Amino acid sequence: MKALSIFALVFAVLSIFIPVSGVFIAMLCSILAMISFRSQPALSGVTFGINTINAAFLSPIIVLSDMASSGELDINSAITTTTTESGEIYLFYVGFHLFFFAIAIAWRLIRVAPKTS
């Protein structure tokens, strides 16, 4: 599990610098960090922190897609699409990482850390 948590940590850091698909790579890294949190809580916790900060503050594509979807950013007024409330997309991406972090903590508390030999 140590290799999995290191893999998630490395790709979480790389997802900061990847423009559009970095958001989805960070989501995958949060899932991998949740899996490895039981045996490697330090590395996985750092991965969750990096992913949450990335989604909350460092990803302008999330804010732009949220503005376009809520109608605050008028990209093309000829296309009519369904609009969302302001902040729904942003809260989804940030909440995704926090939700899996909460699941990882609960799983660690319910099933105690594995014994190393």
Residue at 23: amino acid letter = V
As a whole number of angstroms, the distance between CA 83 and CA 66 comes to 10
pLDDT surpasses 60 at 99: yes
Are 43 and 32 in contact by the 8 Å Cβ rule? The answer is no
pLDDT surpasses 80 at 73: no
Q: Give the number of other Cβ atoms within 10 Å of residue 41's Cβ.
A: 17
Residue with the larger pLDDT of the pair 77 and 54: 54
pTM of the model: 0.83
Residue-level pLDDT at 50: 96
Q: pLDDT, tens digit, for every residue of 2-34?
A: 999 999 999 999 999 998 899 999 999 999 999
Distances (CA, A) of 19 to 14, 26, 52, 70: 10, 12, 16, 22
Residue with the larger pLDDT of the pair 111 and 14: 14
As a whole number of angstroms, the distance between CA 62 and CA 19 comes to 11
